[in-house]
């Protein structure tokens, strides 16, 4: 309870006291009794009641979230030029009054759901797109009264600004902007851009009418049943096409993987063959170098060859028959030492022992 209400209550009690005293004086007079102090009490009660009523009528308390427009019978134009802010204020009793307006944020919602918004039932915004399709748009407008222009708002709209200005203005701008786009654009790529254009246009219009746009929310977009079915069929077809493309890509990757595997195996086989060839070359070079060293050694000592010849056949001979007058079983080979540079590897068959009968 503010001070003005308290004083007004006290004024009411004072008036009741004055009426009670009047009734008491009349009652005593009817019975022939005198009540000398009655008139004085009545006058005092009336004066007190008038004083309290006057003071309570002149005191106005404005809440922090409100601003007040002073309607005055004494001011030019019938109102004070400036609004009054929060706190306790004095106005001229019986000649002025205060109309308060909230400056807190307010939300006006237009929705297809019957449980949302200020209007019961389907209150979504119906609009035609550039390609002739019908869309139903759910939206919310969050706005506030401009604290510096409360007097202008009162003169232009009073307390009808939400129903008579915010609602029709918002619906008209939404329809106008939506008609600039095709339905495919609204559904996908241009929805955000459309929301930006609506916000900019609505902010300018509300500012011209002494309101400040806090935010515009594009809540949802609905379509006709026929178009919704067509969109669903299109999405199914696109999903099937994407699935087919995925299968093709999987097959391509599998083929590429098989090709890479085969190429790797071929490269490995080539590397292995090159390795074997290189090993054969190295082995041949080693054998040639070994024969060269053997040839050089035989050139310096030819008797080594005869010794090796006898040593090779000796383990396989158990009995030797010599003809009469013959001292040698077999003719020993005449060693011919080859040049080390011309020695080449040869393969010799094993020598079988020869037995000669007399």
- 76 and 96 both lie in a single domain: yes
Tokens of 317: 């001979």
Is residue 299 in a domain?
A: yes
Residue 60 to residue 68: CA distance in whole angstroms: 9
Is residue 358 in a domain?
A: no
Residue 64 to residue 85: CA distance in whole angstroms: 8
- pTM comes to 0.57
- 97 and 132 both lie in a single domain: no
- 283 and 324 both lie in a single domain: yes
- 178 and 268 both lie in a single domain: no
- 136 and 204 both lie in a single domain: yes
- 113 and 97 both lie in a single domain: no
Last residue of a domain, one of 55, 72, 102: 102
Separation of CA 30 from chain center: 89
Is residue 137 in a domain?
A: yes
Any residues with CB less than 8 A from the CB of 190 and at least 6 apart, and which? 181
- Mean local confidence (pLDDT), 248-263: 86
Is residue 251 in a domain?
A: no
Tokens of 119: 């209007």
Is residue 326 in a domain?
A: yes
Any residues with CB less than 8 A from the CB of 207 and at least 6 apart, and which? 146, 213
- 117 and 212 both lie in a single domain: yes
Phi and psi (nearest 5°) for 333? -70, 145
Q: What pLDDT is attached to residue 23?
A: 77
Q: Parallel, antiparallel, or unpaired for β 134-145 and 211-223?
A: antiparallel
pLDDT by residue (tens digit) across 129-144?
988 888 999 999 999 9
Q: What pLDDT is attached to residue 328?
A: 52
- 214 and 111 both lie in a single domain: yes
- 29 and 70 both lie in a single domain: yes
- 61 and 131 both lie in a single domain: no
Domain count, the chain: 3
Least confident window among 151-155, 235-239, 315-319: 315-319
CATH of the domain at 128: 3.30.479.30
Whether the predicted pLDDT of 99 surpasses 90: yes
Whether the predicted pLDDT of 45 surpasses 80: no
Is residue 230 in a domain?
A: no
Whether the predicted pLDDT of 35 surpasses 70: no
Q: What is the DSSP letter of 350?
A: P
Vertex 14 angle, CA 13 and 19, to 5°: 95
- For helices 225-300 and 303-313, the axis angle rounded to 10 degrees is 110
Query: What is the pLDDT confidence band of residue 341, given thresholds at 50, 70 and 90?
Result: very low
Last residue of a domain, one of 102, 129, 153: 102
- Mean local confidence (pLDDT), 82-106: 91
Q: What pLDDT is attached to residue 309?
A: 67
Residue 118 to residue 110: CA distance in whole angstroms: 7
Residue percentage of the chain with pLDDT more than 70 = 79
CB 150 within 8 A of CB 209: no
Domain that holds residue 320: 260-344
- 141 and 92 both lie in a single domain: no
Is residue 239 in a domain?
A: no
Last residue of a domain, one of 73, 102, 131: 102
Is residue 75 in a domain?
A: yes
- 62 and 128 both lie in a single domain: no
């Amino acid at each position: 309870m503010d001070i003005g209400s308290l004083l007004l209550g006290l004024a009411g009690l004072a008036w009741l006291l004055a009426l009670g005293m009047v009734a008491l004086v009349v009652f005593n007079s009817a019975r022939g009794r005198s009540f000398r102090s009655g008139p004085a009490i009545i006058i005092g009660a009336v004066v007190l009641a008038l004083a309290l009523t006057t003071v309570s009528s002149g005191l106005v308390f404005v809440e922090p979230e409100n601003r007040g427009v002073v309607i005055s019978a004494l001011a030019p134009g019938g109102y004070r030029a400036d609004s009054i802010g929060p706190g306790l204020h004095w106005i001229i009793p019986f000649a002025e009054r205060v109309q308060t307006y909230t400056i807190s944020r307010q939300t006006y919602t237009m929705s297809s759901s019957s449980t949302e918004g200020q209007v019961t039932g389907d209150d979504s915004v119906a609009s035609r797109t550039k390609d002739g399709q019908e869309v139903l748009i759910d939206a919310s407008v969050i706005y506030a009264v401009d604290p510096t222009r409360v007097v202008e708002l009162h003169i232009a709209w009073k307390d009808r600004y939400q129903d008579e200005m915010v609602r029709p203005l918002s619906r008209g701008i939404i329809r106008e902007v939506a008609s600039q786009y095709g339905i495919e654009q609204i559904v996908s790529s241009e929805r955000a851009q459309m929301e930006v254009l609506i916000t900019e246009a609505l902010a300018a219009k509300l500012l011209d009418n002494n309101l400040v746009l806090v935010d515009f929310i594009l809540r949802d977009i609905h379509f006709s049943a026929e178009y919704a079915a067509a969109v669903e069929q299109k999405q199914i077809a696109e999903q099937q096409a994407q699935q087919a493309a995925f299968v093709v890509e999987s097959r391509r990757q599998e083929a590429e993987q098989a090709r890479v595997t085969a190429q790797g195996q071929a490269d490995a086989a080539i590397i292995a063959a090159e390795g074997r060839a290189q090993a054969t070359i190295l082995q041949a070079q080693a054998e040639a170098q070994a024969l060269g060293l053997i040839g050089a050694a035989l050139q310096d000592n030819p008797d080594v060859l005869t010794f090796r010849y006898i040593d090779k056949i000796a383990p396989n001979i158990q009995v030797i028959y010599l003809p009469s007058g013959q001292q040698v079983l077999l003719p020993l080979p005449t060693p011919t030492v080859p040049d080390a540079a011309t020695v080449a590897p040869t393969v010799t068959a094993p020598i079988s022992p020869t037995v000669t009968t007399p």
